[in-house]
Amino acid sequence: MYAIYSQYYIDKAIKEKDTQNIVRGYYLITLEDKDEYAKYLDSLVKYSKLTNHDYFLWNGFYGKGRYYKRKRNFQQACEYYIKAYKLARKINEAELLDISVVSLGLVRERIGKHNEALKDYKKSYLYTKELINDKLPDSSNLSDFESYLHSLNLLANSYRLNSILDSAKFYNREVLNYENYSWSKEYVNKASLNMSEIFFDEKRFELAIKYASKTIPLFSKSNNLKSIAASYYIIGMSEIKLDNESIGISYLTKMDSIFNLENNLYPPLRSAYETLIIHYKKKNDLKKQLYYTEQIIKFDSIVFKDYQYISEGITQKLDRPELLEQKKILENKLKKSNNKIYLWIIFVFILLALLGYETYRRKKLTKRYLEKFDNLIKQIDQNKNNKEPKKLSKTLEINTNESLGINIEVVENILKSLSEFELLEEYTDSNLTATSLAKKIGTNANYLGRVIKYKYDLSFRNYINNLRINLALDKLRNTKEFKKFSVYAMAKEVGFKNSEPFSKAFKGRTGNYPSEFIEKLKN
Residue 481 lies in a domain: yes
Residue 394 pLDDT: 42
**Residue 70's closest CA among 306, 308, 310, 309?**
306
Quote the pLDDT of residue 202: 94
Neighbours of 1 (CB within 10 A): 5
CA distance 231 to 196: 8
Is 59 domain-assigned? no
Query: What's the DSSP call for residue 265?
Result: -
Work out the widest C-alpha separation in the chain, in whole angstroms: 95
How much is the average pLDDT of 359-372?
61
Q: Quick check: 212 and 229 in contact, CB under 8 A?
A: no
Torsion sign over Cα 288, 294, 300, 303:
negative
Query: What is the pLDDT at residue 385?
Result: 46
In a domain, 440, yes or no: yes
Q: Which residue has the higher pLDDT, 308 or 493?
A: 493
Q: Reduced to 3 states, what is the DSSP secondary structure of residue 164?
A: coil
CATH number for 438 = 1.10.10.60
pLDDT given for residue 400 in this prediction: 31
Instruction: Flag whether 471 is in a domain.
Output: yes
pLDDT, position 76: 92
Nearest-angstrom CA–CA distance, 7 and 14:
11
CB neighbours of 17 closer than 8 A, spacing ≥ 6?
none
Distances (CA, A) of 120 to 68, 187, 508: 19, 19, 32
End-to-end CA distance of the chain: 72
For the segment 408-423, what is each residue's pLDDT rounded down to a tens digit? 999 999 999 999 999 9
pLDDT digits (tens, 9 = 90+) for 446-469: 999 999 998 889 999 999 999 999
Whether residue 488 lies inside any domain: the answer is yes
Q: Give the Cα separation of 111 and 303 in Å (integer).
A: 12
C-beta atoms surrounding 487 within 10 Å: 18
Give the pLDDT band of residue 349 (cuts 50, 70, 90): low
Question: Which amino acid is located at 29 in the chain?
Answer: I
CA–CA separation, 310 and 300 (whole Å)? 10
> Each residue of 27-59: b (16+ CB within 10 Å) or e?
bbbbeeeeeebbebbebbbebbeebebbebbbb
CB atoms within 10 A of CB 113: 18
Query: Residues 132-159, buried b or exposed e (16+ Cβ, 10 A)?
Result: eeeeebeeeeeeebbbbbbbbbbbbbbb
Residues 6+ apart with CB under 8 A from 247: 236, 239
DSSP code of residue 206: H
Domain that holds residue 452: 408-522
Q: For residue 426, is it within any domain?
A: yes
Residue 504 lies in a domain: yes
Closest CA to 76 of 237, 282, 280, 308: 308
Cα gap 178→238, rounded to integer Å:
28
Output the pTM of the full model: 0.62
- Give residue-wise pLDDT tens across range 157-172: 999 999 999 999 999 9
Whose CA is closest to 331, among 279, 278, 287, 273?
287
CA atoms within 13 A on the CB side of 130: 11
**Does the residue 308 lie in any domain?**
no
Q: What is the pLDDT of residues 78-128, one digit of tens each?
A: 999 999 999 999 999 999 999 999 999 999 998 889 999 999 999 999 999
Task: State how many domains the chain has.
Answer: 1
Q: For residue 10, which of 55, 50, 44, 58 has the smallest C-alpha distance?
A: 44
Distance CA 284, CA 246 (A): 16
Q: Closest by alpha carbon to 106, among 118, 123, 97, 94?
A: 118
Residues in the chain: 523
